[in-house]
Structure 1
Amino acid sequence: MTAAFDLPRRLVAEALGTALLVAAVVGSGIMAERLTADVGLALLANTLATGAMLVVLVTVLAPVSGAHLNPAVTLVVAVRGELPRRDAGLYVLAQLAGAVAGTAVAHLMFDRALAELSGKVRWGAAQWFSEGVATFGLVLVILAGVRFDRRAVPWLVGLYITSAYWFTASTSFANPAVAVARSLTNSFSGIRPADLPGFVAAQLAGALIAAALAGWLLREPASHPIARKAEARP
């Protein structure tokens, strides 16, 4: 589906999409902090804005670049042989640049410094395990959605992240680029830079485990009626 778009346009789509996603995450967190002292209500506002933005971005950008918006997703796509390694590396660079720009955009909208190192502690085995689980689930949902109902993928991604905000101890970053960008905001959605390595390692591990499982779980059995029918066609 993305073959009609050359690499420069796909890279712009990845950068722009990741920037808008981060702007939604960081901006809604700042707005929530300003409007309420209730942490649960603030998290709900942050959750809804993020999930809604994901539905929109994946819908409009998937035909252009695949709407990875996430280095962990790009890694899986490359490992599966669906994206050349060179393109995958450029995708990741575009995502990281867009993510950092998204934080700057959110800060400008709320009259804050372009970047602030976060002081929010997110450390420990429970947090790392949560990120592994969150990213594992996201990648598995994406791969299964592409396999069975590609048109539903935007909603599947948005709804999964909306849910994962609440069932994971880490509030489901599930995205190395977003994690890096959130280390540059000392606000509700931030993460202390020192905590980044554990998050990113867990996210990449979760993504690769999901890819390995999906390769077995979602493979069409040779004896399946659909497979036999396809083999019988001239």
Structure 2
Amino acid sequence: MVITVDIGNTNIVFGFFEKGMLLNTLRIVTDSGRTSDEYRLLLLQFIREEKLHGNVEDVVISSVVPSLTPVFRAVARKMAGRDAILINSELPIGIKFDVDEPRFVGADRICDIFEAHKLFPNENAVTVDFGTATTFSVITKDGRFVGGPITIGVLPASTELFRKTAQLPRIELVKPKSAIGRNTVEEMQSGVINGFGGLVDRLIELIEEELGEKVRVIGTGGISHIMEGVSKRIEIFDKLLTIKGLYSIYEYVKGK
């Protein structure tokens, strides 16, 4: 069994693969205070309860939380008996990083674009990852990562709206019933959700203008589903795109 680990600022998502098949996933809150032994025991308990039999052969890590990277490297050594594969721009995965500072490209973005290029090998593609930040990643049809806009995440935006105002409530992130809204909650839901839908569509339009060509658009991230039917340009929604990209990179590296 191969375990993929996507360490984000808000959540850590684990994927459990056997012979190329995704058997199960686990999503937990990111906690930099936990030790490698605590994370290892948590994983072993999940594996036991979900009856995921088989030895752990490899662990593949995508991390945007530097303090947790060595923690999970220790977890990998204890569970697989070998060093983890770490995703970064120096890993030979057949993608050219055509940006000023390749080493600062987030590992999650690398996973997203690798999987997007696998899905659309002869087309330009953009992944839109709705996480703590909303991250656009552009991969050209000839396999070049050329960057992409980064803005605030949907959840942090709605939270700040609640925190920084005296009379606005905390809202549930669901699709608004109306663009105008008949009460404060509906008005806020429209402003946040429809607003981000418009933001996505406008940025995709600008990306296409700059490339001079059309792009395919994939939405991912834990709350990406709320954009279904809101953004007109996102054609595929896959919450597990990063996890799948992690495993695809693993297969590519092992194949070489």
Structure having the larger proportion of residues in helix: 1
Structure having the larger proportion of residues in strand: 2
Instruction: Report the TM-score when normalising by structure 1.
Output: 0.27
